[in-house]
Amino acid sequence: MAATETAGTTRRDFLYIATGAMGAVGAAALVWPFVSQLQPDASVLALSTTEVDLTSIAEGQMVTVKWRGKPVFVWNRTEKDIAEAKEVQLSALLDPIARNANLAADAPATDENRAGEGHEKWLVVIGICTHLGCVPIGHSGEYDGWFCPCHGSEYDTAGRVRRGPAPTNLDIPPYQFVSDTKISIG
């Protein structure tokens, strides 16, 4: 055996490295299931779509539905609310991006881009303050939209942040109008 060994690398060096590499592959393969089990399981993924019937929401009324465990505000806005939102210049906004999952990532935060497509009286936003995750209170604050009780962020009638500390507008979840009176979120 010694005859096959050279001063540089030996047969034993090769065996050490091959064994170590095999051991590392095995350890990684063993660790993966224990990491993978942390992700949302099949029963959670199965609940990722929520349908909302709009006929029962009167004009001016705001309802909260649950989607993926989060509150989603569905607001049947009045003419006054819409007009108020349309008056605002983009330059007056803290966050000029629409944050609408159904549009391009850089779409501007106009009321058209915030409201439902072809259904401008409907506003659908995720009811979680973009500051630190509290649920803002509707129909309140200086801008007639939402006021967050935790740290005083205020949102307007298009769900756009108008006073900090929240950094971005309320997110709009992916959703579509299944019919004129029904939306499907997720």
Reported for 25-30, long-range contacts at CB under 8 A and 24+ positions apart, including other chains, are: none
The greatest distance separating any two alpha carbons of the chain, rounded to the nearest whole angstrom, comes to 94
Tell the smallest beta-carbon distance from residue 36 to other proteins (Å). 4
Measured between alpha carbons, how far is 43 from 111 in angstroms, rounded to an integer?
A: 36
Pick the closer one to other proteins by CB: 33 or 69: 33
Pick the closer one to other proteins by CB: 17 or 104: 17
* Residues of this chain, 43-102, that bind other proteins according to CB under 8 A: 43-44
Helix, strand, or coil here: 123? Answer: strand
Residue 151 annotated in active site = yes
Pick the closer one to other proteins by CB: 6 or 37: 37
Measured between alpha carbons, how far is 22 from 16 in angstroms, rounded to an integer?
A: 10
* Residues of this chain, 13-52, that bind other proteins according to CB under 8 A: 32-34, 36-39, 41-44
Binding site for other proteins (CB under 8 A): 32-34, 36-39, 41-44
Catalytic residues: 151
